Structure formats: C-alpha cells, structure tokens
A and B are shown apart, each in its own frame.
Chain A
Amino acid sequence: MRNVLRIAGKEFADLSGSGLVLVVLIIYVALILKVSYDTYNVVFIQLGATGQRLVNILLDGVWYILTYFGMFVGVVIGFASISSERHRNSLSLLLTKPLYRDSIINGKLLGATCFLACVSGLAIALFTALMLAIFGNSFFTMLPGYLENIPLLLALSLVYVLIFMLLSMLISVLIKDQAYALVLTFLAIFLIKMENTNNVAGDVSMVLTGDTNLGNTLANLSPFTLSEHVSVCLSPPAGMTIDPAVYSLPSAALNIAFYALLLLIANYIVFIRSDVS
C-alpha cells in the first residue's frame, strides 16, 4: 500500500509540473470563461430565468464544463501519465524496481484520478465564483440548493471523464509512438461522438432492419448520449415532460460507471501482461 501511495504522490507531482498538462489547463480556463459568458447571455438576456430555473441552468453549465471540456483534460492527463515516462525512458526504469506491476498501475491511476478531481473541483469553484459575480443576489439566495447538488455532479462527472482518461492511457500503453497514440485517442473519441454515432447507427439500423429502432438503441450506447441524458435530467428544456423510460439519471450513471469499469479492467490487463518499454 505504501508503494502505491508513493507512486500516486509522484504521479500527482509529475502531472502538476507537466508542461503538457499546463497548456491544456490554460485552454480549459479559457473555455470556462467562454461558457460563463454564454450562460450569462442565455440566462439573463434571452430566458430571464430566476429561482430554481436559474439553478437548473447553472447546474447544467457545470455538467457541460466538467464533461464536454473536462473529457479533453482527462485525455491529456491519461496521455501525460504514460507518455512522459515512456518518452524519458523512465517507465522501463520503474518496471525494474522491486514493485508489482499492479502497484504501479494502481499508483498511476490513483494519482491521475486525484489530480483530475482537483482540476474538476477548481473548475466548479471558478464557474461558481463567476456566476456569483454575474448574477449577484438572485443566485446567492439559491446557493444552498445549487451546492447540495454539486457533490453528486462532481462524482458522476469524475467517473464520466475517467472513461476518456482510461481510454487515453490504454492506447498510450498499446501504441509505442506516443504522438500517434494521442491522435488515435482523439480519433476514437470523435468516432463515438454523439452526432456521428447517431448517423452511423441510423445507417446500420436502416441497412439491417429497415427502420431506425436499432439505431436509437445503438446511439444510446454512446457515452455522449448518456451525458446528454444527464443534462436533460438536470435542466429539462422548458415545457418538456421527461419520459423516465428514456431520461433516467440512475440508469445513465450506471452505464457510465460500467464503461469506466470495463476500461479500467482493460488497462489492468494490458499493463500487467504486455511488454511495456
């Protein structure tokens, strides 16, 4: 256990000092500022929402920042975790130490997850501070209701972003050329992105069955679709009645956790069994 914690601490420190991660965090802050500005436009100018409606929209904004943009941060953290060591040839050195391989992967995952949790927490803090500055008292009075949903949102978004971080780590371990691995990860994410899944799933459904039912089922398997379902549950569009058979927060959360678990197992298998050098 002590070795796992040592490796986790080292991983956290490496990620904190990584130039790659720093570049992405700067971009992330810029994107948070943009989302804050867009939220102000939508809420204040267009919808004029107040009270619970305002809280729902802000929670949706938090979810969007943590998942849609956070997924990119997760990819880079996963990539930096493996590639920087591989690039410096220090991964081979680490593997020669009297450590079990599962201790190494446990430590790396723990360190990377803790770093991701810190980044997500800071992102929420930044967004909340900006919203307080913009909306003032109309948001301040609803702050308790907003804050009581934040822990669940943070935990769920962390599991969601873990999907992409684990995918990135998996591809980085499998592919020796690290630059190639990063581009392949990005390509994989693009191919499972919601619109593409819907298009391709629709085509597959029409070709195989002549209707779109299979396509809807396939499209619902995409993590992006699951994220969209969570977003609808958090902030249902005005006048829309949510069908619990389609939009279910527990169901979406379970599916997201299942994907993360699958990728975690895959990472263990590949890291422990492959000849990593």
Chain B
Amino acid sequence: MTTASNPVLAIARNELLKLLTHPFTYLIFIILVCIVLLNSMDNSLRTSIDSVMTTDDLFLYDGVSNTTYIFTFLCSIMAVFIGAMSLSSERSKKSIGLLLTKPVYRRDVIAGKFFGLSAFMFLFIVAYVIVDTLLITWYFRPPLDINDYLLRSLSYILLHCCLCSILIALMFLVSIIFKDVLMVALISVVYLFLEWFSSLLVSFDELKYFSPLSLYDTASYHLLYTSTAFDSWLQIAMPYALLMVLETIVLLLVDSFIFIRTEDI
C-alpha cells in the first residue's frame, strides 16, 4: 500500500515532512541538547564530589531524571503547538478547503494528521533519549544494567508519546471548535499555563484522572528509580497508561465526529 493509494499515509507523510523542516523543531532540540550537555558535565563532577546514599543507578536517578521535568515540558509545548497549528494554519492559509475537495474522507484527514504528528513526536523523543544516553555515558559512565535500562527507556519513550498524543488530540479539538488561529494559539498557551504554572486543574480531584500531565506523572512515578523493580512499576503504571491511550482514542473520535459535521470549515 503506497502513500499515493492511501490518503491517511499521504497526509501523515506530509505533516511529518513539514515538521522536520520547521525551525521550532530545531530550536527546541538545540535547547534540550544544551541543557542535557550541561547536566551531563555537572553530573560527572558532582558525583565525584558528593557521596550519594542511594541504591538507585545514578545514571537514571541523577543523570536522566534531572532533565526530565524540562524535557516533559518542552515535549508538551511542542505537542500542543503542532496540534493546535496543524489545522488552524491550514484554515488561515485557506488550504484546508483545497484538501477537502480531494477524494479524502474527513476522518482520514484527522487520522492522517494525527499519525503524522505522533510519528514526529516519537522520532523527536527517541532522538532526545539517544543524545541524553550518549552524553551521560560519555561524561559519566554507562548504565549498570543495560537490559533494565533499555526496558525503562522504552517505557519512558512510550509514556511521553502517550502524553503528546493526548495533547495533539486535545488541540485538534480546540482548533476544530475555534476558527480564529490567534484564539487557538491563546487557548493552547492558556492550557499550558494552567497545567504547568498554576495548580488550578489538579486542585479538582476529579480532573486528576483526565489531566494528561497528572496521568503521566502518576504512570511515570518511580520509573527512573532502579530500586523499584521494573515489573512492580509496570503493574502500577499500566492502568494509567491504558487510561492515557483510551483518552486519546476518545478525543480522536470526538474530533472526527465534530469535523465531519462541521459545515463551515
């Protein structure tokens, strides 16, 4: 099945290529590399000075987890921005009208864009993890248990992908409902502010099971602590990870439903 015969793949490929050439991608990645480089260099100095009373592998406990907060935020900002702008910028440039004249189902447009953006985020996260691993290994040392590290890294990547997928689907919904590109950009930034700068969303207990960041935090808790066995972590994290996947699917279904029934695109 070639991209020419499958519209979903064609749209996904187009989205992926657009993002791989967008300057924002490289800006975020350069910021991350600089932060990881500084952290790796500092980590190698600090662990030779401090005596750290922990049974956890410092590669993950200190090295990787020190930059996790910034990495998760930058991934979120990236996912929110690309999700919000994917439909909105096409609408403001009037190219969405041209796309919809093609023999493409509207649901395929949503699916194609979602897969393209998610594939991009997957590649971005994998590239970051590889750079992070190489830099910490270079300046500090390799992980003590390679197999355990690979399992935890894969889980780290998949959890971040789940978080980004929810955010992309959520921003699709915002851009379908609001026609003005500036309003969509504002709402995406308001969402980021409420999730990351204020605790307004998590102060409501009921929202803890719907907030993407809360679900991610709960699922990833103790992932980077090797003193917690991987199997034990997986048992606790699995329901939350499945909830994240379910939330993504529900949001995409809602997006498709509204997009199909919207007359004024």
Contact = CB atoms under 8 A, between A and B. Distances in A.
A19 B188 contact: no
Interface of A: 19-20, 23-24, 27, 30-31, 34, 68-69, 72, 76, 79, 83-84, 87, 178-180, 182-183, 186-187, 190-191, 193, 195-196, 199-200, 202-204, 206-207, 210
B186 A34 contact: no
A190 B185 CA distance: 17
Interface size class of B (residues with CB under 8 A): 35 or more
Contact of A183 (B38, B73, B77, B183): B77
B193 interface: yes
B183 A27 contact: no
Contact of A200 (B38, B181, B188, B193): B38
B66 A199 contact: yes
B5 to A, nearest CB: 34
A216 to B, nearest CB: 15
Contacts of A31: 198, 200
A31 B183 CA distance: 20
Task: With a 10 A CB-CB cut-off, give which of A19, A203, A204 has the most chain B CB atoms.
Answer: A203
Contacts of A204: 38
Contacts of B196: 190
Given A72-B193, A191-B31, A203 B203 contact: no
B198 A203 contact: no
6 contacts: A27-B194, A34-B198, A178-B185, A180-B85, A183-B77, A193-B197
Nearest to A72: B193
A206 B183 contact: no
A203 B139 CA distance: 14
A36 B38 CA distance: 40
Given A31-B198, A72-B197, A207 B42 contact: yes
Contact of B198 (A23, A69, A187, A202): A69
Contacts of B198: 31, 34, 69
Contacts of B185: 178-179, 182-183
A47 B200 CA distance: 22
Interface string B154-198: 000000000000000000000000001111111111101110111
B24 A180 contact: yes
- Leading 8 A-B pairs by shortest Cβ distance: A179-B185, A203-B38, A203-B42, A206-B42, A207-B41, A182-B185, A183-B81, A186-B189
